[in-house]
């Protein structure tokens, strides 16, 4: 796999050492057991896979390349390049401005741009409508396009099955940048509709079978279907693709369910009513989620998940951990305020809260740890260091690196 040139301050000597060791021991990536780090006073178990994925490193390399290649020019990011506040803040420090937020609210109007400006497309991709606006302004939207290759794979697969007469069902969060971009591309080739979860998939099934009046569809899926969508005819042959950061198991559940519904509903076996789209699942999303499943086989006192609060893939890792043990979703090491207090994001309340006495009063606690695909390894190391500061007498980073290196 390609090695990307990203700033050294995103790297971590400890995490690099661990990942190199695990790759040597498990070249086929079949082992999803965690890495045990015994610091003497505390044990930390790191997920087998976590942190920057291929698409994120690709995006960071292109974004910093845009900065370095265009001194003196105005450089804009369409929206957050990835859902990590540190990375986006670093780009701002390097003179990059944001045109809009993650929900599409503009900070800068289109008419303020000119053909001399540089615009970076984020890793989530963008809509065809936005690409046209930039092109009409004389700005090449593909010059610094950081769209994840696996997102583009979903677009390509949508086009392929759309050309074969299938309607595209997109499993994703309707307001997420990636889902908006995928919806824009898919509706160019086929009728398209977004379902956010299994409940909405069950609702959609009632229109496939005719259990619900077709006119109700437009209320139930308001803002989530393509122009001129006809539920009576457009739900006869379907294929399911996904926002790449969703839980792979959820997408598979939706896909399997809709396949069962539509095949049972149609007695005509001369047509295939469901397209095989399993190859659109992102490998990094799968690996990170499988690694958390493996991580959770270890009995521990708590889990720390590091990543941006608006990161979809990180939130799903939190959901997995919450099923087994107390889990704290933090953006960085500063959120470990002290050994008595932690600031963390509550997925259910949709806000940051504080929890007291989060660390167990035991002689040698066990802590599970992972991070989202847009979280730098350096931030994970900082969190580990912060935890160690609460346990005097712990091994330091250099000692742990020496210990891991001795395993070779």
Strand boundaries in 292-337, DSSP class E? 302-306, 327-330
**Residues acting as catalytic residues:** 178
Per DSSP, the chain holds a count of helices (H) and strands (E) of: 14, 14
Asked whether this chain's domains 8-53+284-405 and 149-281 adopt the same fold, the reply is yes
| pLDDT computed for residue 86 by the predictor | 92
CA-wise closest residue to 196 among 244, 158, 249, 243: 243
Give the helix ranges, DSSP H, for 279-395: 283-295, 312-322, 377-389
Give the C-alpha distances (Å, rounded to integers) separating 41 from 34, 285, 363, 387.
Answer: 19, 32, 7, 11
Q: How far apart are CA 28 and CA 356, in angstroms?
A: 42
On whether the CB atoms of residues 150 and 178 are closer than 8 A, the answer is no
Q: How far apart are CA 399 and CA 244, in angstroms?
A: 38
Give the helix ranges, DSSP H, for 30-145: 54-69, 85-93, 128-136
Does residue 173 come out as left (phi exceeding 0), alpha (psi in the -120 to 50 range) or beta?
beta
- Residues of the chain below pLDDT 70: 1, 268-271, 279, 281, 408
| pLDDT computed for residue 245 by the predictor | 87
Q: How far apart are CA 166 and CA 157, in angstroms?
A: 11
For the packed helices 397-405 and 13-25, what is the interaxial angle rounded to 10 degrees?
Answer: 20
Query: Alpha-carbon dihedral of residues 62, 3, 245, 122, nearest 10 degrees?
Result: 0
Q: How far apart are CA 326 and CA 304, in angstroms?
A: 9
DSSP character for 24? H
| pLDDT computed for residue 272 by the predictor | 84
Q: Can you name the residues that pair with 37 across neighbouring β-strands?
A: 44
Q: How far apart are CA 280 and CA 154, in angstroms?
A: 5
| pLDDT computed for residue 267 by the predictor | 73
Instruction: Write down the pTM of the prediction.
Output: 0.89
On whether the CB atoms of residues 257 and 205 are closer than 8 A, the answer is yes
CATH number of the structural domain 8-53+284-405: 3.40.1010.20
Q: How far apart are CA 202 and CA 100, in angstroms?
A: 34
CA 107 to chain CA mean position, Å: 24
Q: Give the CATH architecture of domain 149-281.
A: 3-Layer(aba) Sandwich (3.40)
Spell out the domain ranges in the chain: 8-53+284-405, 54-136, 149-281
On whether the CB atoms of residues 318 and 327 are closer than 8 A, the answer is yes
Q: How far apart are CA 185 and CA 195, in angstroms?
A: 16
DSSP assignment string, 198-265: HHHHHHHHHHHTT-S-GGGHHHHTTTSB-TT--HHHHTSSEEEEE-TTS-HHHHHHHHHHHHHHHHHH
| pLDDT computed for residue 270 by the predictor | 46
In CATH terms, 54-136 corresponds, of 3.40.50.11270, 1.10.10.10, 1.10.287.40, 3.30.2310.20, to 3.40.50.11270
CA-wise closest residue to 284 among 274, 292, 276: 292
DSSP character for 97? E
Burial code (b: 16+ CB inside 10 Å, e: under 16) for 360-394 equals eeeeebbbbbbbbbbbbbbbbbbbbebbbeeeeeb
| pLDDT computed for residue 408 by the predictor | 61
- CB burial of residue 232 (10 Å; 0-12, 13-18, 19+): exposed
Residue identified by tokens 């040597």 is: 24
């Amino acid at each position: 796999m390609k090695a990307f040139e990203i700033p050294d301050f995103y790297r971590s000597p400890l995490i690099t050492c661990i990942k190199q060791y695990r790759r040597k021991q498990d070249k086929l990536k079949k082992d999803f057991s965690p890495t045990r780090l015994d610091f003497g006073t505390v044990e930390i178990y790191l997920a087998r896979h976590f942190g920057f994925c291929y698409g994120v490193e690709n995006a960071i390399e292109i974004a910093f390349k845009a900065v370095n290649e265009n001194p003196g020019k105005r450089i804009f990011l369409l929206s957050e390049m990835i859902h990590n506040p540190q990375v986006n803040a670093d780009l701002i420090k390097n003179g990059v401005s944001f045109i809009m937020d993650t929900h599409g609210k503009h900070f800068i109007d289109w008419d303020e741009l000119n053909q001399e400006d540089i615009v970076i497309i984020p890793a989530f991709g963008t809509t065809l409508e936005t690409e046209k606006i930039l092109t009409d302004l004389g700005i090449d939207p593909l010059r610094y396009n950081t769209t994840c290759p696996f997102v583009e794979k979903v677009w390509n697969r949508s086009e392929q099955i759309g050309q074969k007469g299938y309607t595209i069902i997109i499993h994703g969060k309707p307001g997420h940048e990636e889902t908006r971009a995928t919806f824009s591309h898919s509706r160019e080739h086929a009728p398209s509709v977004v379902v956010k979860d299994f409940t909405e998939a069950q609702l959609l099934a009632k229109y496939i079978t005719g259990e619900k009046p077709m006119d109700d569809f437009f209320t139930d899926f308001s803002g989530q279907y393509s122009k001129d969508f006809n539920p009576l005819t457009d739900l006869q042959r379907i294929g399911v693709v996904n926002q790449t950061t969703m839980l792979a198991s959820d997408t598979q559940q939706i896909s399997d369910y809709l396949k069962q519904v539509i095949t049972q509903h149609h007695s005509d076996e001369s047509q295939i009513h469901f397209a095989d789209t399993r190859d659109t699942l992102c490998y990094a999303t799968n690996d990170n989620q499988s690694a958390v499943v493996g991580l959770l086989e270890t009995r521990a006192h708590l889990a720390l998940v590091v990543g941006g609060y608006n990161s979809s893939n990180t939130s799903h890792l939190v959901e997995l951990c919450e099923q087994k043990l107390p889990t704290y979703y933090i953006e960085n090491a500063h959120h470990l305020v002290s050994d008595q207090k932690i600031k963390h994001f509550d997925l259910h309340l949709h806000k940051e809260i504080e929890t007291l006495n989060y660390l167990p009063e035991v002689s040698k606690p066990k802590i599970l740890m992972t991070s989202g695909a847009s979280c730098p390894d350096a931030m994970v190391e900082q969190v580990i260091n912060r935890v160690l500061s609460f346990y005097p007498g712990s091994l330091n980073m250099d000692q742990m690196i020496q210990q891991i290196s001795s395993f070779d």
